[in-house]
Structure 1
Amino acid sequence: MIDGRPIFRATMAKNRVKILLRFCRFDNIATRDERLKEDKLAPVRDLWVMFLAQLRACYTPGGSLSVDGQLIPTRGRCNFRQYIPSKPGKYGLRIFWCYDSDTVYPLNGEVYLGRQSQAAGVGRNTSPICNLVKRLVQPWINTGRTITTGVQTSLVGTIRRNKKEIPQELQSDPYRPEQSSIFCFDRQITLVSYVPKKRDAMILLSTLHHDKAIDNEKKNKPEIILYYNEIKGGVDRMDQMVQTYSCKRKTKHWPMTFFFNMIVGAVAAFVVWTIKKSTMERKETSSSTVIFVTIGF
């Protein structure tokens, strides 16, 4: 607080912030234990639902959407905390976001809770991740958008190599040359296997691409991979923007960690403001042009 931005110190005193955080709660503690039996996210569920409703109500996405995961670092006790060694924080709460690929506006989000009862919306006999992604993109199915699955909806994404449906020829092979590609086509589906380096293979599926287009200037990468790389990474960009003005505080209570991460709403507000400002500037420019022409005549 002392060496932070002046506007933060002017808004509220440090001790006042500590008092508010100490008594900050997001649900009725008297009924929490009962709700936790059906919903692991019960301590912040109501706040989360209202937050997502506002995100969807304030923005109409473009033609390209993406789904990616965000890890909120925390070491606090939580029975759905994830361990992802490739992430800087390694331990944390995992949120899957559906966002606009062009503006990084968060449209819909869902916390990965693992297995829980049917009442909370996650079945025990189906793939939790598969169902989660379907729920995230459901509002934009049949709208002509591309999601990075379906009628009037295109899909572009990576596939794990251990899937039994993938032909053996597309798997990693020490004899396959670097920067080589193998394509498979089945009606409207294209499958490509690209070798970025020896003994490795990237496998992607697309319903948007239907040929063997390759960019020779970019390590012979297929157009599918170039498209995928271009629209992915939005969550990383969102994290970077959030960290610039982070309000996070050290805490072992995961609901507070979750609440601090809701500053992504500031990113959404910034996107809306930027688009609104750009629209107004275009209108002003257009009006000025009309007046100039009129005066000229």
Structure 2
Amino acid sequence: MIMDKFIFNLVNQKYYTPSNFVWVYEHFCSFKGKIWAKVFIKSKPGLYGIKFWMSVDSETGMVLNFQMYCGKCGGREENQGFRVTRDMVLPMLCRGFKTTVVCDNFFCTLKMSHNLAAFEVPAKAKDVEKRSSDTTTFFSKGKSKLVSYYNEKKKLVSLLTTCHYKDNVVAVETTVYNWASNKYYSCRRKTYRWNIRVLYDMIDIAALNGYKTYSAFNKGDRIEYPNKLSRDLMAYN
């Protein structure tokens, strides 16, 4: 299957080493056709689509792992966030890479942080809610630390981490994260066939990963790279 080979190539990259921070999050692929796994997410563009789980290098935006959400299978899945996080980072652990895993509140549980700590992999998670008080608190259990502070946008930010070992409140600046931002250039076309839509998405991811690897050794324009890649592929075939 094409997707199986695609995922195999992602998790077995020979020419790329992950940085110190890896994000685990959901990726939404807009799609209005028919598929058993179609989801509705109000906050996403297009509202309806196919959901994927991803692990991404936060410094470069390189996609390291990929998994399609196939809908409910016989009932509600228990501890889905823990299972997804484990699936996303386990290939890196098996290859000997130990990076800090960053995820939002859906993926993070105390069980997950303890599990990663057993592999000596730091974990961080972020949870944001509106509150009216201005406080900073600190809790700890085993290797897991919970820091809660009120930011300048009047939101309460809770951070679960195994990165910090001292029993004191860390500075707010140490909890600021840099999301990898990349302009989006897509090969997708309008289609009502879900497998074609997923194929377009995989091609986009492969092209982005290819550019990240290429730009590490060569100077090249982000816009020109997919154009050159498409011309080379057509010439090859």
CA deviations over 1:154-177 (Å, ceiling 9, x no partner): 00112487xxxxxxxxxx653x22
Secondary structure in structure 2 of the residue aligned to 1:223 = helix
CA deviations over 1:223-247 (Å, ceiling 9, x no partner): 22x1xx22xx34xx35x3xx32x21
Mark the structure with the bigger radius of gyration.
1
Aligned pairs, how many?
Answer: 198
Equivalent of residue 90 in structure 2, options 133, 138, 142:
138
CA distance 1:198–1:143, shift in 2 (3 Å): closer
1:253-292 aligned at under 5 Å gives the runs: 253-262=193-202, 263-277=204-218
Percent sequence identity is 22
- Conservation of the 8 A alpha-carbon contact between 1:143 and 1:152: no
More strand by share: 2
Instruction: Measure, in 2, the Cα distance between the counterparts of 1:70 and 1:90.
Output: 13
TM-score by length of 2: 0.74
CA deviations over 1:195-235 (Å, ceiling 9, x no partner): 23687422110100234122xxxxxx3522x1xx22xx34x
Aligned-residue offset at 1:112 = 1.5
Aligned-residue offset at 1:182 = 1.3
Aligned-residue offset at 1:181 = 1.7
- Conservation of the 8 A alpha-carbon contact between 1:75 and 1:252: yes
Aligned-residue offset at 1:96 = 1.3
Which residue identity lines up with residue 68 of structure 2 in the other structure? V
- Conservation of the 8 A alpha-carbon contact between 1:99 and 1:105: yes
Question: Equivalent residue for 2:188?
Answer: 248
Secondary structure in structure 2 of the residue aligned to 1:276 = coil
More helix by share: 1
Tell me how large the CA RMSD over aligned residues is. Answer: 2.5
CA deviations over 1:116-140 (Å, ceiling 9, x no partner): 27xxxxx965333321221111022
CA distance 1:173–1:270, shift in 2 (3 Å): closer
- Conservation of the 8 A alpha-carbon contact between 2:18 and 2:97: no
Instruction: Measure, in 1, the Cα distance between the counterparts of 2:140 and 2:43.
Output: 33
Secondary structure in structure 1 of the residue aligned to 2:218 = helix
Structure possessing the higher relative contact order (Cα contacts under 8 Å, 6 or more residues apart): 2
Gaps of 5+ in 1: 1-45, 118-122, 162-171, 215-220, 279-297
